[in-house]
Amino acid sequence: MPQNPIPEARLRDRFAAFLPNAEFLHAEECHGGHINRTFFVDARVYGQQRRYVLQSVNKNVFKNYAGVMENVFRISAHLGRKSLDVGSDDPTRDHIHFIRTADGGMGVDGEIGFWRLYRFIDRAEGRLRATTPHEARAAAAAFGRFQWLLADLPTPRLWETISAFHDTRQRFANLEASAGADAAGRLASVRDDVDAFLALRPEALKLQEAFERGEIPERIAHNDAKYSNVLMDTATNAAVCVIDLDTCMPGLSLHDFGDLMRSMSCDRPEDEPDVSTIAVRRDMYDALVDGFLSQAGNFLVPAERGLLPNAGVAITLETGSRFLADYLDGDHYFHIDYPEHNLVRARSQLALARSMLDTLL
């Protein structure tokens, strides 16, 4: 859906629920995510200017938003403990520090979103595209490390914040259902695209089938391991902090490696309109494997290692099928910037998956 502006008075009000004594100076929207609304807020606190991230969690997508908040608080606390245990360069920057509301809650319940606040991490930024193997290796290592640090998260099991999130078989069934319903009257113009995705379904199902055969285990995964979800140090290009923990829940290690490949094995953006420019870069793929295994290599079983290239194909096709289904439904799920945006995304994902199949498998 296109986004409506949020008045500054609402942002001030939400922010005050967390830090009532701070002086709100300025807010600016960050337009990266497809689901939540995110704002950088500058404020003066005890005489010092500080920056925060104020975010509205999309309650339409995250229906169990209370479960989301419980998960992200537990995950951040665990990462904080682990960073002291395993030795961290900077525990103030290597995980998200959430701030409770003045009355001790995890956030503020609004009409369309659940508002939360965390500290901005200085000298680091989320970037849409990686162009060098150095960046790819660093980001992949950060997600491998993230999985490793969470492997001993104490019970209970994390909430499944969106059920069947990486149920690829269900995602393809949803695409078929959206094509069947043709709610926005767009099927005639995209029938070839739908057929192209459905023809590749066997490739997309490889991870799920290996899991169902018991060959690869459930783990705690980030489940949205794209490049823009790891903040990179603006001076050194080191990976600083993994962000966007809302879909961090039980999943497959390979779901994350697949998203790393989807977002970094090619240096074109997810919504590249010229599909002739989309091709896997072998140097980027090799850097992703190298970086991921540098951290996750000590716990991955041989079947997981064997499926690394298939992970990219599966997640790229799954994500592309979701974009196409949303286009067919009339763009209710992902934020879009122009009417054909979801279709452009779906076609670029299809081209990328094909290139992965040609070059890596």
Q: How far, in Å, CA of 20 to CA of 264, rounded?
A: 41
Contact call for residue 33 and ligand GN1 (CB under 6 A): yes
Partner from Mg ion, ligand GN1, none contacting 304, C-beta within 5 to 8 A by type: none
For residue 347, give the nearest of 188, 179, 173, 193 by alpha carbon: 193
Contact call for residue 270 and Mg ion (CB under 5 A): no
Near Mg ion by CB under 5 A: residue from 224, 270, 271, 318:
224
Length, in residues, of the chain: 361
**What's the one-letter identity of residue 91?**
P
Site for Mg ion in 227-246 (CB under 5 A): 244
Q: Which one of the spans 75-83, 178-186, 217-225, 293-301 is the region binding Mg ion (CB under 5 A)?
A: 217-225
Nearest approach, Cβ of 244 to ligand GN1 (angstroms)?
5
Near ligand GN1 by CB under 6 A: residue from 135, 193, 270, 304:
270
- Name the residue nearer to Mg ion (CB basis): 224 or 256: 224
Query: Are the CB atoms for 133 and 287 separated by under 8 Å?
Result: yes
Binding-site residue total for Mg ion (CB under 5 A)? 2
Pairing of strands 113-119, 124-125: unpaired
Task: Tell me which DSSP letter residue 33 carries.
Answer: -
For residue 313, give the nearest of 251, 248, 358, 249 by alpha carbon: 358
Q: Which one of the spans 3-11, 31-39, 194-202, 286-294 is the region binding ligand GN1 (CB under 6 A)?
A: 31-39
Q: How far, in Å, CA of 342 to CA of 327, rounded?
A: 5
Query: Are the CB atoms for 216 and 143 separated by under 8 Å?
Result: no
Contact call for residue 256 and ligand GN1 (CB under 6 A): no
Partner from Mg ion, ligand GN1, none contacting 226, C-beta within 5 to 8 A by type: ligand GN1
Nearest approach, Cβ of 65 to ligand GN1 (angstroms)?
12
CA 234, chain centre distance (Å):
20
Q: Is 331 helix (H, G, I), strand (E, B) or coil?
A: coil
Partner from ligand GN1, Mg ion, none contacting 193, C-beta within 5 to 8 A by type: none
Q: Is 99 helix (H, G, I), strand (E, B) or coil?
A: strand
Nearest approach, Cβ of 89 to ligand GN1 (angstroms)?
26
11 CB contacts (<8 Å, ≥6 apart)? 24, 27, 39, 41, 54
How many degrees, rounded to 5, is the angle at CA 226 between CA 347 and CA 120? 135
Residue 22 token pair: 């701070």
Contact call for residue 34 and ligand GN1 (CB under 6 A): yes
Contact call for residue 319 and ligand GN1 (CB under 6 A): yes
- Name the residue nearer to ligand GN1 (CB basis): 135 or 259: 259
Nearest approach, Cβ of 139 to ligand GN1 (angstroms)?
15
Binding map of ligand GN1 across residues 217-236, x = CB under 6 A, - = no contact: -------x-x----------
Contact call for residue 204 and ligand GN1 (CB under 6 A): no
Q: How far, in Å, CA of 62 to CA of 56, rounded?
A: 11
Residue 231 token pair: 């903040």
Binding residues for ligand GN1 (CB under 6 A): 33-35, 61, 224, 226, 244, 247, 270, 319
Binding residues for Mg ion (CB under 5 A): 224, 244
